[in-house]
Amino acid sequence: MKSNKKANFYLDNVFIHLTVWLIIFGLPLFLTDRGQGISWSNFWRSTSVMVSFIIVFYINYLYLIDRFLYKQKTKEFIFINLLLVIVVASCMYFAHDFIMSLNLDGRPMHRRRRYMSMPYVFIGRNAFSLALIVGLSVAIKMSARWAMVEAERKELEKAKTEAELKNLKSQINPHFLLNTLNNIYALIEFNPPKAQMAVEELSKLLRHILYDNNENFVPLVSEMKFINNYIELMRIRLSKNVTLTTVTDVPLGSSLLIAPLIYISLIENAFKHGISGNKKSFIDIQLHERPNGVVEFICKNSYFPKSEADKSGSGIGLSQVKKRLELLYPNRYKWSQAVEKSEDESVFISHLIIHTK
């Protein structure tokens, strides 16, 4: 893939160069002398100028810049170009003199004598033009090199991002599975039938993780079903003092794509810190597809923070959510987490808005 892009880049450059030089060489054909047709003397003199420009341009573009300028040999580069410019400017003078000696247009010869009397002016003027051509060659070569380096940097950055995302997902999946297995283990002790149901729900979740979760982005509808399956799995172990409400406002025909497993860690966190064994508690989860590719997720839960002794796992989930959001939606998401306290209870709110487009 990388070699193909380089080949296309070089082909594009060749096409641009050929087009520009063909246009420049064609310009002398339109040089006329007060409506009397093409001035062949002007045409061949202009052509000799263009050939000189091309020689200086490509000696620099194809050799000198790579050989000296890119290797920090600036003094050698300037010295060689000074010699090149003087030699080519002198050759231009003699070429012009030869063309004028042919007298292709039948002009008076006194013009040639006036022209020959100012060789240093002619050479100096053309040396200045050739120096500009050298500068143009350096500018174009540097721009082309910068464009290539920038393209390669973006490719490397993309590859790095994809590698990081794969690494993050490989960490999230075991983390998610560990938490779910802990829940099922707790169910086995006091309610084996519910544990069996939990294993069945878990198999659905694992199917999504193993087969539907291989891309960086999945349909929002698919992710919504995954979330609902997870919530139903968690609902099995809830006691009567917990109120669980969910709202998933995503049209079944939605074609919107979302990063997989972005929301599951937030929901896990709600079940982890939002449930009390002896107090009334609640979890309210909402997922909305808004216009213009905006997805809004709101999770509210009663807040019973765990002590250090009660905490399980490494807390990897939320930190990985942050990293994945930065990689996949840079400057296109807003995530806030806050605890609202009142006399009766504390409520934890996690609010995530993603602009997918």
Q: Per residue in 206-251, pLDDT tens?
A: 776 666 666 778 899 988 988 888 888 788 778 888 999 999 888 8
Segments forming the whole domain that contains residue 337: 191-355
Verify that 250 and 126 share a domain, yes or no: no
Contact between 297 and 351 under an 8 Å Cβ cutoff? The reply is: yes
Verify that 104 and 196 share a domain, yes or no: no
| In-domain check, residue 95 | yes
The pLDDT assigned to 187 comes to 73
Verify that 141 and 198 share a domain, yes or no: no
pLDDT per residue over 124-180, tens digit each? 788 888 888 888 888 888 887 887 788 777 777 776 666 665 665 555 556 667 767
Verify that 63 and 207 share a domain, yes or no: no
| In-domain check, residue 162 | no
The pLDDT assigned to 289 comes to 94
The pLDDT assigned to 58 comes to 86
The pLDDT assigned to 162 comes to 65
The pLDDT assigned to 141 comes to 84
Q: Among 153, 174, 203, give the residue marking a domain's end.
A: 153
Q: How many domains does the chain have?
A: 2
Verify that 245 and 315 share a domain, yes or no: yes
pLDDT per residue over 4-38, tens digit each? 555 555 555 666 667 766 666 655 555 444 455 55
The pLDDT assigned to 313 comes to 47
Residue 350 belongs to a domain with what CATH number? 3.30.565.10
The conformational region for residue 330 under phi > 0 = left, psi -120 to 50 = alpha, else beta, is beta
Verify that 124 and 198 share a domain, yes or no: no
| In-domain check, residue 255 | yes
pLDDT greater than 90 at residue 353 = yes
Task: Give the position of tokens 């464009």.
Answer: 147
| In-domain check, residue 164 | no
